Chains A and B, each alone.
Chain A
C-alpha cells in the first residue's frame, strides 16, 4: 500500500526539483535575496581562494627558511601584510553589510495598496489559510494550498494556533516564524506561473517533516475564479448520499464542509478538498488511492497526527472517499 502511494507520488510529481529552492527565484523578494546570495558567493569565494593561496604560500615558503631572525625586515613586511589583510576584510564586510541592508529593504518595498490579504495559521501539522474576499470583506477558508496572483503583492499575516512554526516558500520569499501571541507579516510578489512548494522550517514536534503546502501562482483571472469557487458553499441538496451522511457523523466534529452539517473547526476545512493537489499537508498526492490510504491508516502514514484512525466499515470508507472526491 505504502509503496504504491510512494510510487504514485513519484509518478505524479517527478521532475519537480527546484520547486522549493531559493536558487530558483520566482518572486521579487526571492530575487532580491538571490542577488545578495550571488554577491556573497563572489566575495566569499574570493576570500576562500586567498586563504587557500595563503596556506600554500606558508607551507611552500617555510621549506626555504634557513633560520629565523626577528631583527630582519621580515617582521615589518608581515606587519604591512597584516594592515592590508585587515583593510581588505573591512572593505569586503562593508560591501556585504550594505548589500544586505539594501536587500532587506527590498523585502518590504512592495506596494501594499492593492495587496491580496491572506491570513495563515500554523497548526500541528497543517496550515489554515484564509483569504479576505475584497468584495464582501469576509474570510474565505481553505487549507494547505496557497494560490497567488501573478505580479501582484500578497500580504500574508502569520499566526500560530499552538507552537512555533515557520512559513517558507523559498522560490518566492524568505521564511518568517509563526509565533503564538505575535502577528508577523510576509509579502509575496510572484513573477512566474506554476506550482511551488512551501514547508515548515521551525521544529514543531513529531510531524514537523510532514508540514508542507503547495503554492500555485495563477494569472489574475484564473486566481479570481479560483477564489470565487473556494468561497462558495456546497449545495445542500447534493449532500445526501451515504458518504455524505457518514462524513457528517464521523468526520464532521473536526472538519467543516460549508453548506452541510459538518461544522468542526479542529481540522482543515474540506469544502473544496478535492480541488487541492495533496492530502494532509503535503504528505500524500491527491488521488483516490491517497484518500483511501489516509482514511484507513493516518497514524501509519503520519505517526502522531491529530487525525485518528476511524474504524469504518469498508463500504462506508469507500463511500466517504467517493464523497470526498466530489468536493472539488
Chain B
C-alpha cells in the first residue's frame, strides 16, 4: 500500500525528536539509542583490541621487560572486562534494540524510556572503568576476580571495587534491556505473527533476554558480596572467619557460563536471518533451530562447574557436568546442519554478509570442538588455565559471535544508513580478519599443549614458546589491520556508498518493508503477517491494518501466543528523566565504592528521579477497534 504524504507528515511530527542537544538527551527512539550503544561498544572494542596487541607485542619475545607485570596484569584485566561486559553483551542488546521493533513492524520498544535508561547506565559503567583507568585505578586481577586475591587482604586500594561496581552498572543496564526486549517480542508482535511464525532472530533475542534475567542476578549478588567484604568487612569469602572462597566461583560461573550463550544465541539469530535472505528460500528446519536455541538456553544453566574442574570438587559430580557440557554439541551441531542445508538447497549468492557466515562456521566449529575437549573433567585438568583455553574462548567468542556480528553489520548497514558498504573492501576486511584471526589464535592451542599458562606477563627463553608466540602476534596484527579496513569501509560508505533503497538484498522479514534509513515512526502502517517470510509473498503488497493513532504516540499490543491485537497503548515520548535517573544511580554506585553511607543517602536522589519519571501525567490508553486499511 502507498500511504498518502499527509499521513507520513503527521506521523513524522508525532514521532520525531526535539531538535538539538535537548533532543539528543531526551530521545527514546530505539534506533538512536541502539546506535549509541553500537558506536560506544565498537570504540571500546577498538581500545580493548589495542590492549591485546600491546600484550601480544610483550609476549612475542621471552623475558621481555617492555611491560611491567603490573601493566600487563592491568592490560589483560581491562581487555577481558571490557570485551565481555562492555562490548559483547551490550552489542547483542543493541542489535536487539535496533532490530526487534523494525522486525515486528512496531513503532518503538515496549518501554521506550527504560531503553534510554539502559543506555545511560551502561555508559556510566563504561566511564567507571575507563575513567578509572585514566587515573590509574585500573582493575588488575582479570575479568573474573577470585577472592581471596580480590579480597581486602590481598588487594588494598580500589582497583577491585572499580571492577565489581562496573559489573553492577552493566548488569542493571542489561537486566533493564532484556526485560524491554522480552516484553516487546512477547506483546508487540503484529497481527498474524504467532509464536510459530516468529523468525528465528526474534526467538534468539527472546531466549537470550530470558537467560539474561535468570543469570545476571547471580553475578550482581556475588560482586555485591565482594564489595561488602571489602567495604564493611563482611566475611563471605574469608576462610579464617568461616567464609568460603569457592562460593564466589560457583556464583560467578552460574552467571559466567550462561553469559557465553547470551552472546552466542543472538549471533545464531543473525546467522539465521542472513542465511535465509541470501539462500532465497525459507530457512530449513525452523522448528529445529528454535528448539536448538531453547535447549541451549536450558542447558546453559546446568554446566557452570566445567569452569571449576580443577577446584577439586567431587569427581562423580564433575562427570555430570562433563555430560551436560558436551550435550550442547547436539543443538549446536543441528543448527549448523540446518544452515548448511539451507545454503545448499537454496539459490544462494555470496556477498560479504554471507562470507562472514561461512567464516563463522569454519572458525566457530573449531572453538566448539576444543570446547568438547575442555568439557571432559579429566582432560580439562591439562587444558584449563593454559593458552589452550585462551585459544578456545577466542574461537568461540570471536568466531562464534563477532564474525556473525560483522556479517550482521554488513547485512543491516544499508537498512540503517540507506547506503551499501563497498563489497570489494568488505572482502579485503573479511580475508584479513578471518585469516589473521586463525593465524593468531590457532597457535595458542599448541602453546597451551606445550605448557604455557594463561595470564603470564613473560616466560623463560628455554621453554620453546617463542616461535608460536611470534606467529600469534603477527596474526593478531593482521586481524587488527583488517578491523581498521572494516571500520574505514563503514565510515566511507556512510557518505559515499551507493544508495541502497529499502530492500537491497530481497530480505524475508519485516524490517525490509520500510524505508532505509527507517523514519522516526519506523513504518507507516501496521503490517499483517501470514507466514514466516512476510516479505516473500510473490510481489503482492504487504497486508496492513490501520487504526493506530497518528497524532499521538501509540503502539499496538497483542496476545502472547497468537498475536491477536488486544489494545492500543500509549507509547512514552521524549523525556529527560531516564538520564536524570541514570545519573542518580551512577552517583550512588560510584560513591558506594568509598562509603556504605552512599547507599541510604544516594537512594534519595534516585527516589526523586523515579518520582519525576513516573509522575502520572498521561491519560489512560483508549480501547479502540482496529480497522482494515483502505
Contact = CB atoms under 8 A, between A and B. Distances in A.
A178 to B, nearest CB: 9
Given A22-B382, A65-B346, A78-B345, 20 more contacts: A10-B462, A15-B462, A36-B376, A40-B379, A57-B340, A58-B344, A59-B350, A63-B348, A85-B333, A86-B333, A100-B319, A104-B319, A104-B376, A166-B310, A166-B385, A174-B310, A199-B453, A203-B142, A205-B149, A206-B73
B462 A9 contact: yes
29 contacts: A9-B460, A13-B462, A20-B451, A21-B450, A22-B449, A33-B381, A37-B382, A51-B336, A54-B337, A70-B282, A78-B284, A81-B341, A82-B288, A82-B341, A93-B372, A97-B323, A99-B376, A101-B319, A104-B377, A108-B315, A162-B154, A164-B146, A168-B453, A170-B382, A174-B379, A180-B239, A203-B146, A207-B69, A209-B456
B457 A177 contact: no
Most chain A Cβ neighbours within 10 Å, of B65, B341, B365: B341
A55 B369 contact: no
Nearest to A202: B385
Interface in A59-89: 59, 61-63, 65-68, 70, 74-75, 78, 81-82, 85-86, 89
Interface in A242-271: none
Given A40-B373, A93-B326, A97-B322, A20 B345 contact: no
B522 to A, nearest CB: 30
Contacts of B361: 51, 55
A107 B319 CA distance: 13
Given A177-B311, A201-B453, A74 B345 contact: yes
Interface string B354-370: 00001001100110011
B463 A104 contact: no
A163 B142 CA distance: 14
B330 interface: yes
4 closest cross-chain pairs (CB), A and B: A174-B381, A17-B464, A181-B239, A20-B451
Contacts of B322: 97, 100-101
B311 A86 contact: no
B16 interface: no
A184 interface: yes
Interface string B313-336: 001001100110011011001101
A93 B330 contact: yes
B457 A175 contact: no
Contact of B366 (A2, A48, A74): A48
B457 A164 contact: no
A103 B326 contact: no
Contacts of B386: 201
B345 A209 contact: no
A236 to B, nearest CB: 37
The interface centre, meaning the residue of B63, B65, B456 with most chain A CB atoms within 10 A of its CB, is B456
A96 B455 contact: no
A181 B319 contact: no
B333 A89 contact: yes
A292 to B, nearest CB: 18
A65 B349 CA distance: 11
B244 A89 contact: no
Contacts of B369: 44, 47-48
Contact of B460 (A90, A205, A282): A282
B312 interface: yes
A249 B280 CA distance: 83
A310 interface: no
A66 to B, nearest CB: 7
Contact of B334 (A52, A85, A124): A85
A151 interface: no
B622 interface: no
A33 B450 contact: no
Given A44-B372, A82-B338, A209 B70 contact: no
Given A203-B149, A206-B73, A59 B381 contact: no
Interface string B437-477: 00000000000011101111111111110000000000000
B310 A175 contact: yes
A303 B69 contact: yes
A7 to B, nearest CB: 9
A176 interface: yes
A237 interface: no
Interface string A138-173: 000000000000000000000000111010101001
Interface residues of A, number: 91
A205 B140 CA distance: 8
A182 B362 CA distance: 42
Given A22-B451, A100-B322, A93 B154 contact: no
A61 B343 CA distance: 8
A174 B384 CA distance: 9
Contacts of A179: 245-246, 311-312
A204 B310 CA distance: 15
A96 B379 CA distance: 11
Nearest to A173: B381
A276 interface: no
Nearest to A164: B146
Interface string B239-277: 100001110000000000000000000000000000000
A53 to B, nearest CB: 10
Contacts of A78: 284-285, 341, 345
Nearest to A44: B369
B561 interface: no
A20 B450 contact: yes
Contacts of A21: 449-451
A216 to B, nearest CB: 17
B84 interface: no
B284 A75 contact: yes
A222 interface: no
Contacts of A185: 312
A86 B337 CA distance: 9
Nearest to B275: A58
B141 interface: yes
Contacts of B382: 22, 30, 33, 37, 170, 174-175
B403 to A, nearest CB: 14
A101 B334 CA distance: 25
B340 A68 contact: no
A312 interface: no
Interface in B389-430: none
Given A20-B450, A51-B361, A164-B146, A100 B379 contact: yes
Interface string B184-202: 0000000000000000000
Contacts of A206: 69-70, 73
A321 interface: no
A327 interface: no
Contact of B280 (A13, A44, A68): A68
B592 to A, nearest CB: 25
A304 B70 contact: yes
B343 A85 contact: no
A10 B461 contact: yes
Contacts of A324: none
Given A65-B345, A86-B334, A199 B372 contact: no
Nearest to A196: B451
